[in-house]
């Protein structure tokens, strides 16, 4: 069957209509939880550093962090978990919010954890590549003074080369980092809070009610935690998780200086059905668009302790202020295309169901726990002018693996190729299997890998999937 050549805009419109059930883009990662997203733009890609909520817990007992990247804002590659609590000999529990920044070709990932002395401290890991491997840069905390407030580091390097680390729960602190990015000069400064700077003054907690309840009449807003410090068009921004009552909102203040004084601007995102007490945000500009990253408890089974990254696009007002942003399920649109003729990791995903992330020393990150009825969707895959000739996938299957079907535009759309997966000799015995394409396609399409069970009716895992690519007709 020949797919008619259509204009790219028209194809996108069709794709949106046909895609139906899979048109959602939030939460951005479906294979596991991804709380406290911290985006970083580097060399034409967005990297997102997150934490890892563990299913079934009723507190933030987190043990590791993850890295993802995308060049188009919709297809996200999972780079796995390059650091965990055990990467820091002085850490005991609570792998909480983090942010990574590049300086002189090195990547500094500021994290916070509970220490073996039972307080919270900020540490820093360093790597030569944005996805790691990372190692503890100091072998000890960077910021520690016995306080529980030392969480949620945010880092920014100003135009004059001065780097700032802000952090804090309840109180907001900053320190001026040295050029080595792993030490600081001068005192740790506590940022004054007032109605003018952050919308209100933090009131004492009421220990007789919930841990977040506070005494006295509510403020218009209050700095709680999760600062996100950046500069845009000469203005310094401090976004933070604020609170008036109930659950956290995302609010912001602006200053003409990196160290304040801050002027409270209002709430960016509030009163949304996020299904999560916290929201932890980050903001970037990428390919001439502005994006808010935050988390919700909306992944199936999620909640306040099962949080996942979401993204919304927004446009700054002419005066640099940020409009109110509403959460969406649709998320953001692609700002690039995916080349199917270059090897793509199976863990590059726009949307997925019934599969998970695996990681080992031999192949790194791969897709595992693939179940009948599951699928991976990719968006804006550009097949170019000529149709592909064949499709290859790197697969491992200890038992009869089922079927991998390749479709375009929707799960039931044109079937481009089918692989009947044989036993490859083990769940980590990888084999590259190639099949001729059985339909022709060109231009930009969504691509679906559908996982089918053949005669496998039980819910067992079908196969492991490491990477794929198409071969062009004229190759």
SS3 labels along 237-274 = EEEEEECCCCCCEEEEEEECCCCCCCEEEEEEECCCCC
Minimum CB–partner distance for residue 62 and ligand FUB (Å): 6
Following DSSP, what letter does each residue of 74-123 receive, concatenated? SSEEE----EEGGGSTTEEE-----EEEEETTEEEEEEEEEETTSSEEEE
Nearer to ligand FUB, 237 or 449 (CB): 237
Distance, in Å, from the CA atom of 456 to the CA atom of 446, rounded to the nearest integer, reads: 27
Contacting ligand FUB (CB under 6 A), which of 23, 70, 278, 424? 278
Q: Are the C-beta atoms of 402 and 460 separated by less than 8 Å?
A: no
Minimum CB–partner distance for residue 224 and ligand FUB (Å): 8
Nearer to ligand FUB, 35 or 297 (CB): 35
**Backbone Cα Rg of the chain:** 23
Minimum CB–partner distance for residue 99 and ligand FUB (Å): 11
Distance, in Å, from the CA atom of 257 to the CA atom of 141, rounded to the nearest integer, reads: 28
Token pair in block for residue 7: 């204009």
User: Would the CA dihedral through 390, 391, 393, 398 be positive or negative?
Assistant: negative
Q: For residue 97, state whether it binds ligand FUB (rule: CB under 6 A).
A: yes
Distance, in Å, from the CA atom of 68 to the CA atom of 78, rounded to the nearest integer, reads: 5
Distance, in Å, from the CA atom of 270 to the CA atom of 279, rounded to the nearest integer, reads: 10
Minimum CB–partner distance for residue 274 and ligand FUB (Å): 12
Nearer to ligand FUB, 39 or 51 (CB): 51
**Residues within window 368-397 making contact with ligand FUB, judged by CB under 6 A:** none
Contacting ligand FUB (CB under 6 A), which of 267, 280, 344, 371? 280
Distance, in Å, from the CA atom of 419 to the CA atom of 434, rounded to the nearest integer, reads: 8
Nearer to ligand FUB, 53 or 405 (CB): 53
Nearer to ligand FUB, 170 or 336 (CB): 170
Q: Are the C-beta atoms of 464 and 367 separated by less than 8 Å?
A: yes
Contacting ligand FUB (CB under 6 A), which of 33, 47, 96, 430? 96
Nearer to ligand FUB, 78 or 152 (CB): 152
Minimum CB–partner distance for residue 286 and ligand FUB (Å): 23
Q: For residue 60, state whether it binds ligand FUB (rule: CB under 6 A).
A: yes
Minimum CB–partner distance for residue 208 and ligand FUB (Å): 23
**Residues within window 169-208 making contact with ligand FUB, judged by CB under 6 A:** none
CA 264, 278, 246 angle in degrees (round to 5)? 75
Q: For residue 52, state whether it binds ligand FUB (rule: CB under 6 A).
A: no
Contacting ligand FUB (CB under 6 A), which of 35, 260, 282, 302? 35
Minimum CB–partner distance for residue 87 and ligand FUB (Å): 17
Number of residues that bind ligand FUB (CB under 6 A): 12
Minimum CB–partner distance for residue 227 and ligand FUB (Å): 9
Longest distance between any two alpha carbons in the chain, whole Å: 73
Strands (E) in 338-421, as ranges, are 344-345, 348-349, 351-353, 356-360, 364-368, 375-382, 388-396, 402-408, 415-421
Minimum CB–partner distance for residue 112 and ligand FUB (Å): 6
Contacting ligand FUB (CB under 6 A), which of 152, 405, 409, 466? 152
Preceding amide of 289 cis, omega within 30: no
| DSSP-derived 3-state class of residue 39 | strand
Nearer to ligand FUB, 121 or 450 (CB): 121
Minimum CB–partner distance for residue 169 and ligand FUB (Å): 7
Nearer to ligand FUB, 35 or 80 (CB): 35
Binding mask 291-320 for ligand FUB (x = CB under 6 A): ------------------------------
**Which residue has 């399920």 as its token pair?**
329
Q: Which of 313, 310, 312 is nearest to 274 (CA)?
A: 310
Nearer to ligand FUB, 67 or 97 (CB): 97
The residues that touch ligand FUB, with contacts defined as CB under 6 A, are: 35-36, 51, 60, 96-97, 151-152, 225-226, 278, 280
């Amino acid at each position: 069957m020949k797919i008619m050549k259509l204009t790219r805009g028209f194809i996108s419109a069709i794709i949106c209509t046909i895609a139906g059930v899979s048109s959602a883009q939030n939460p951005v990662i479906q294979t596991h939880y991804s709380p406290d997203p911290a985006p970083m733009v580097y060399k034409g890609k967005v990297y997102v550093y997150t934490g890892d909520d563990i299913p079934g817990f009723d507190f933030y007992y987190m043990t590791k962090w993850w890295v993802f990247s995308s060049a188009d804002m919709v297809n996200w590659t999972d780079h796995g978990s390059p650091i965990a609590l055990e990467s820091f000999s002085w850490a005991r529990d609570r792998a909480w919010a983090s942010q990574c920044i590049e300086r002189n070709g090195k990547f500094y990932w500021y994290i916070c954890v509970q220490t073996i002395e039972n307080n919270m401290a900020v540490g820093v890991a360093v790597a030569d590549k944005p996805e790691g491997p990372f190692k503890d840069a100091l072998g000890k905390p960077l910021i520690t003074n016995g306080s529980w407030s030392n969480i949620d580091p945010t880092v920014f390097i100003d135009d004059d080369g001065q780097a700032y680390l802000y952090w804090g729960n309840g109180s907001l602190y900053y320190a001026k980092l040295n050029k080595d990015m792993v030490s600081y000069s001068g005192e740790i400064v506590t940022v004054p809070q007032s109605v003018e700077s952050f919308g209100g003054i933090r009131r004492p907690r009421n220990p007789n009610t919930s841990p977040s309840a506070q005494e006295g009449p509510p403020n218009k807003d209050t700095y709680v935690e999760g600062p996100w410090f950046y500069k845009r068009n000469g203005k310094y921004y401090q976004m933070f998780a604020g609170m008036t009552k109930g659950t956290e909102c995302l609010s912001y203040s602006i200053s003409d200086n990196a160290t304040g004084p801050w002027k409270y601007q209002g709430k960016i995102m509030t009163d949304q059905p996020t299904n999560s007490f916290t929201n932890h945000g980050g903001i970037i500009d990428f390919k001439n668009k502005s994006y808010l990253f935050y988390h919700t408890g909306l992944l199936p089974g999620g909640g306040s302790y099962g949080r996942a990254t979401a993204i919304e696009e927004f446009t700054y007002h002419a005066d640099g202020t940020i409009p109110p942003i509403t959460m969406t399920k649709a998320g953001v649109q692609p700002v690039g295309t995916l080349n199917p003729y270059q090897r793509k990791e199976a863990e590059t995903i726009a949307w997925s169901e019934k599969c998970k992330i695996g990681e080992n020393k031999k192949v790194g990150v791969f897709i595992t726990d693939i179940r009948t009825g599951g699928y991976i969707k990719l968006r804006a895959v550009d097949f170019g002018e000529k149709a592909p000739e064949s499709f290859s996938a790197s697969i491992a299957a200890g038992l009869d693996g089922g079927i991998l079907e390749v479709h375009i535009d929707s799960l039931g759309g044109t079937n481009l190729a089918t692989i009947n997966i044989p036993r490859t000799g083990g769940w980590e015995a990888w084999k590259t299997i190639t099949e001729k394409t059985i339909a022709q396609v060109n231009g930009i399409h969504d691509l679906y890998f559908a996982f089918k069970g053949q005669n496998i009716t039980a819910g067992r895992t079908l196969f492991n999937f490491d990477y794929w690519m198409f071969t062009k007709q004229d190759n």
